[in-house]
Amino acid sequence: MRSQSLRGTSLNSRSLATDEGIVFSERKQVMYLCGACQTTTTMTFAADAENPDSWTCASCGEVATLAEPGAAGRLATAAEDDKVARTPFDMLLERRSREELEVILQERLQYLRARRGQEKLGA
């Protein structure tokens, strides 16, 4: 075989096969609810496949059980009601009190002003 016969062809870089004529099988999504962390896991199976009664939770590794049909809406609504958006400031307040934060802020401002050579203006 001559080396010139492969010229212009990039071996192993891409497939020459196309997606034409491929028919995917029907699919269904099945929800599993973890009793330990209350996380829902959605798995996709073939439509004619039998649903397993349990699945391993992706979050905590415990056993999640098969959720009943129609539970998706109830679980999503419950999760939205329970979850409150926490800002970075809220998380900071969990670690420190406002008095501690005020002291840290004043120390940092004093350091930055001294570094820039500026004095505090006004009261």
48-63: pLDDT as tens digits: 888 888 888 888 888 8
Residue 30 belongs to some domain of the structure: yes
Query: CA-CA distance, 37 to 68, in Å (whole number)?
Result: 18
CATH assignment at residue 58: 2.20.28.270
Written as six digits, the tokens of 49 are 């496949």
Show the domain range for 94: 85-117
In angstroms, what is the C-alpha Rg of the chain?
29
Residue 18 belongs to some domain of the structure: no
Q: Let me know whether 78 and 40 are in one domain.
A: yes
Q: Let me know whether 54 and 71 are in one domain.
A: yes
Written as six digits, the tokens of 91 are 């998380």
pTM: 0.41
User: What is the domain count for the chain?
Assistant: 2
Would the pLDDT of 120 be above 70?
no
Local confidence band at 12 (pLDDT 50, 70, 90 cut-offs): low
Q: Let me know whether 79 and 95 are in one domain.
A: no
- Mean pLDDT computed over 73-90: 67
Tell me the per-residue pLDDT of 91-117, one tens digit each, with 9 for 90 and over.
Answer: 898 999 999 999 999 999 999 999 988
